[in-house]
Amino acid sequence: MKPKKKDIRSLSKEQLRAFFEKNGDKAFRGNQVYEWLWHKSLHTFDEMTNISKQTREMLQENFVINHIEVDSMQRSEDGTIKNGIRLHDGFIVESVLIPTEKRTTACVSSQVGCSLDCHFCATSRLKRMRNLNPDEIYDQVVAIDRQSQLYYNRKLSNIVFMGMGEPLMNYKNVLKSIEKITSPEGLGMSSKRITVSTSGVPKIIKKMANDEVKFNLAVSLHAAIDKVRSSIMPFNEKFPLKDLADSLIYWYEKTGRTVTYEYVVWDGINDKKEDIKALIDFCQHIPCKVNLIEYNPIDDGRFQQASSRAIDTYISSLEKHDIIVNVRRSRGKDIDAACGQLANKS
Ligand code: SAH
C-alpha cells in the first residue's frame, strides 16, 4: 500500500525549502509554494501559475492540501452569519461572522467538540473529538474574510477564539494559526485585533506569558466563588480560582496586558450580593474589565438569565469600584450562532 500523502501545510517554510533542495530544485521554490498555500490560500496545486507543470505534478504525488469547505451557511436577521465548516475528515465545526457598524469579527473554533464541561454551554455536550490543525483555524479566518468582503464590502477586522472548543487545550496549534494570521506571509492581521478566550487553564496562561504573545486574553469567569464556579464549570475543581488568579498575576507582570472577564449572570446561581463582592475582589488582582454577556438559552431549565435588576446591581457595584464593565448583547441568537449555542444542531 502506498504511504498516506502528507498534508503540505503541516510543513514549515524551512521544511518546504529543504524539500525542494532535496529534490534537486531551488530552495526558493519552497518560498513560492509557501506563498500560494498561505498568503493566497490556494487549495489546489494546479492553480500555482508560477510553478512548472512538472513540479506541480511532483507535489501532487507527494502531498495533499487538506482544507475546509463551507458546508452550510445561515444568516441571522441581525446580519450574523453562521457557517458549518466541513473538515477534510468529515467532522463539522462552526464559525461565525459578526458584523457591527464598523467592524466584522470572526468567531472561530479551535477543537471539534470541547475538552471542557461547562453546564451552560451547548458545545460541552459534544465530546472533544480532536484538535483543529493550524491550517483549519486559518482557513476559517480566510473563509470569513471572504464573506465579509462579499456581503459587507470590507475586510475582516477582528478575530475571537470563542467558537467551539477550549483554545488553551489546543494551545500549540492555536499559536501556530495566529502566527500565520498575523504574519505578512499569511494574512498580515494585527495581533491586537485577536482575542483568545479561555475558561482558564493556569499552566497555559503562564506559558503564554512566557511566550510573550501579543494577542488579547479573555477569561470566562462567570463566578468568583469556587463552590459556585465548580457547580457550573466542573473543571474549576481541577483549576481553582486561586491558581487562575496566580496565573493572571503572572500574565500581567510578564506582559503588562490587561484581561477581560466574561460573565453571565443567572437567576439563583450567581446573582447574590456575595457573588458580586467576590467578583469585585477577584478584579483587584490585575487591571481588567468585565463583559457581562447575555445568556443564550440552550434548553437547560437550570439556567435562566437573571433579571435586569440583578444585572443593574452588578453594573453599579462594579462601577462603584472603578471596574470597567460592558454589557454585551448577543448576536445571531435566532440561528443558534451566539456564544455557547454552537453545537451542530443541523
Ligand atoms: N472555551 C472558551 C471559548 C468558547 S466559549 C471559553 O470558555 O472561553 C465563548 C464564550 O461564550 C465564553 O465566555 C463562554 O463562557 C460563553 N458561553 C458559553 N455558553 C454560553 C451561553 N449559553 N450563553 C452565553 N454565553 C455562553
Longest dimension (CA), the chain: 72
Please tell me the predicted confidence (pLDDT) of residue 346: 47
| First-to-final CA distance of the chain | 37
- pLDDT-based confidence at 343, cuts 50/70/90? confident
Probe residue for ligand 1, chosen from 118, 126, 267 as the CB with the greatest number of ligand atoms within 8 Å: 118
Q: Give the Cα separation of 322 and 325 in Å (integer).
A: 9
- C-beta atoms surrounding 158 within 10 Å: 18
What the chain holds in terms of domains, given with CATH numbers, is: 6-64 (1.10.150.530), 69-335 (3.20.20.70)
pLDDT top residue among 177 and 337: 177
Kindly give the distance from the C-alpha atom of residue 341 to the centroid of ligand 1, in angstroms, as a whole number: 9
Q: What percent of the chain has pLDDT over 90?
A: 90
pLDDT top residue among 342 and 217: 217
User: Parallel, antiparallel, or unpaired for β 92-99 and 130-131?
Assistant: unpaired
Burial of 60 (0-12, 13-18, 19+ CB in 10 A): middle
Gyration radius from the chain CA atoms? 22
CA distances from 5 to 60, 65, 80 (A): 9, 9, 37
| Average pLDDT of span 116-125 | 91
Please tell me the predicted confidence (pLDDT) of residue 1: 65
Kindly give the distance from the C-alpha atom of residue 274 to the centroid of ligand 1, in angstroms, as a whole number: 23
Q: Are 154 and 167 in contact (CB under 8 A)?
A: no
- φ, ψ of residue 27 to 5 degrees: the values are -60, -35
Q: Where does ligand 1 bind, in terms of residues with CB under 6 Å?
A: 120-121, 162, 166, 197-199, 220, 262, 264, 293, 295-296, 298, 339-340
User: Looking at 84-98, 104-118, 119-133, 325-339, which range is the least confident one?
Assistant: 325-339
Give this prediction's pTM.
0.95
User: Parallel, antiparallel, or unpaired for β 111-112 and 130-131?
Assistant: antiparallel
Q: Is the pLDDT of residue 341 over 90?
A: no
- DSSP string computed for 213-279: --SEEEEE-S-SSHHHHHHHSGGGGTS-HHHHHHHHHHHHHHH---EEEEE--BTTTS-SHHHHHHH
- DSSP string computed for 44-89: -GGG-TTS-HHHHHHHHHHEE----EEEEEEE-TTS-EEEEEE-TT
Nearest CA to ligand 1 atom 12: 220
Nearest CA to ligand 1 atom 9: 162
Please tell me the predicted confidence (pLDDT) of residue 2: 66
Kindly give the distance from the C-alpha atom of residue 232 to the centroid of ligand 1, in angstroms, as a whole number: 12
Q: Give the Cα separation of 256 and 245 in Å (integer).
A: 15
User: Looking at 84-93, 130-139, 296-305, which range is the least confident one?
Assistant: 296-305
Residues 281-320: tens digit of each pLDDT = 999 999 999 999 999 988 888 999 999 999 999 999 999 9
Ligand 1 atom closest to Cα of 197? Answer: 8
Among candidate residues 135, 131, 133, the one with its CA nearest the CA of residue 112: 131
Q: Which residues are catalytic?
A: 94, 339
